[in-house]
Chains A and B, each alone.
Chain A
Amino acid sequence: MANIKLENLTKRFGENTVVDRVNIEIPNGTLVSILGPSGCGKTTLLRMIAGFETPDEGSIFFDQDSVVNVPANKRNIGMVFQSYALFPHMTVEENVAYGLQQRKLSKEQIDARVMQVIHTVHMEEFRKRKPKQLSGGQQQRVALARALAISPRLLLLDECLSALDKKLRVEMQTELRKILEESKVTTFFVTHDQEEAMTLSDFIVVMNKGIVEQMGTPLEVYEKPKNKFVASFLGKANFFRREDGGNFAVRPEKIHLSAEEQNGARQEGIITFITYSGNITSYTIECKGDAVLCEKQNVQIRENLKKGQNVFLHWDKDSEIELADE
């Protein structure tokens, strides 16, 4: 476990600056998601922390120690890849024991630790199996157990839930959160799935084109996104322009619709599209040529709004998110 600090971390591949002066500091025991579209540099960032890529500039600190010149096998980092990378010729037990065998530990110490970690991920009955005899979710657990067994200073999870189907993924998210809270290990979680990032993390780092667009708690990043990219990558947003040229965004669920004009209506438009999806109904409203999205929680069944109808849009002044973009 450690505080992790990235200072001005930069990586170039030829002409391309893949990671551009990234500064992140995360306290001991927190779970940080690095969120961004594919090609945003998040995997390269992770690989530099792991020691598989050498940064062109900048430093990485675990507590007070700079690790840029420490080889991958001396960094004491637990990793879980999207492909899991379980050793195919070893059983579950042997996979989990592998990292411990690289350290100077007695056979008894290794066996005890292996049993303990396998127990944590509920894989006791499968411990003699080879990876190919396991389902995707089970392989995932083994990969996690193997990474946790070495009591790493830092855990790196690279899109590790993406290969699972949706139902299993949601189950594993909850379980992962539980296991990580118990082991209190500082964790970097790379993902392109914003829902997953929101559910799992203490902090979210939003990356785009190699730079950090914003870092904050899920609440901060969702409620107060700094710019258009963050607002639209994390959740949905409607963008408006003020008369003075400034930009602001409003989240779809914060817009109220009414058929009759009331005081303080901010926009007026015509409903062009309605999507009912059980818990919510989404309305697309055309206002002065712009499509505005509005989502309503279906507390009661509401059928008073029809396609083609004229509606008025209201929102609180507080719901307007100021954006840095010009």
Chain B
Amino acid sequence: MRKYFADHLIPTLYALIALAFLYTPIIVLMVMGFNESRYNTLPFSFSLKWYSALAQNEVLIHAAVNSFILALITALICVVLATMFVLGMKTLSRSMEGLFRSLIMMPMSIPWLILALSMLLLIRFIDMDKNMFFVVAGHVVISLPYAMLSLQARIQALDPALEEMSASLGASSLNTFRRITMPALAPAIVAGGFLAFMISFDNFAISYFLIPAGTSTLPIEIQSSIKFGFTPEINAISTVIIGVSLLCLAIVGLIMGSSIENMIGGKKK
């Protein structure tokens, strides 16, 4: 009995506590979005009033649309750049490739706050006004490493013999790219795009430092509403975002999963 307790109960309990620690705040946030009370207080009484208020809240919706468009543009630019980089890096020597990769990956290890600040200082230095171009550029810098991670993993698993085989069968390099390389990279491009999208959509620091006055994104709007006292509409929109993120994650998982299976099938057992 005592052994059972030590071997099973304690690890289970430990895992439950860890999970509770991770998820309690999120669950509270989601539940309070459905609560009548304006101040996130108990007793709980179910209501959809904050969701209908959200539907009327043009500031929040406008900010969310801004964030969505910004993230979409960022993701598109990131996947195009990342695809070009991983393909181009194959032609470099090993040491040059390593150097190049570190340079692109560096923004992952520099705090976003510092990056944002340095970008702001640069804009000041070249004496320009803040504009959306800089915001997009900043978002691309921080999202690109994530798109690269996804594509690099894929291209390293890609058998170089496939492209050679395509050439020996008479395909031009354009046809090889179109019919062999792209289909092999496609799942990683989609997955990398989703990752870049989520990083950009979520980003506060870069947007806050670089965005021109009068424009805002959802993270900025949420931050400012906390400053001035917020209603559970914020809970409602957060819940929506969590839902969308989970959906994205599920899609990425599905695509990556099937692509890994495809790769194994292409190689000898």
Contact = CB atoms under 8 A, between A and B. Distances in A.
B180 interface: yes
B165 A81 contact: yes
Contact of B266 (A51, A76, A87, A163): A87
A131 interface: yes
Nearest to B173: A73
Nearest to A75: B168
Interface string B241-269: 00000000000000000000111111111
Contacts of A89: 183-184, 262
B159 interface: yes
Interface string A59-103: 000000000000111111111011111111100000000110011
A83 B268 contact: yes
Interface in B157-171: 159, 161-162, 164-171
A85 B165 CA distance: 7
Interface string B138-176: 000000000000000000000101101111111111010
A102 B170 contact: yes
Nearest to B161: A85
Interface string B19-43: 0000000000000000000000000
Contact of A52 (B159, B164, B184): B164
Contact of A79 (B165, B175, B263): B165
Which of B165, B172, B267 has most A Cβ within 10 Å?
Answer: B165
Contacts of B168: 50-51, 72-73, 75, 77-79
A18 interface: no
A136 B269 contact: yes
A79 B167 CA distance: 10
Residues of B contacting A: mostly:
helix
A73 B179 CA distance: 15
B254 to A, nearest CB: 16
Contacts of A87: 162, 165-166, 180, 266
A122 interface: no
A78 B266 CA distance: 19
A132 interface: yes
A67 to B, nearest CB: 13
Contacts of B170: 73-74, 76, 99, 102-103, 150
Contacts of B159: 83, 85
A83 B169 contact: no
A88 to B, nearest CB: 3
B162 A85 contact: yes
A75 B175 CA distance: 16
Q: Counting chain B CB atoms within 10 Å of each CB, which of A75, A82, A89, A131 scores highest?
A: A89
Listed from nearest, the 3 A-B pairs whose CB atoms lie closest are: A132-B265, A88-B266, A99-B169
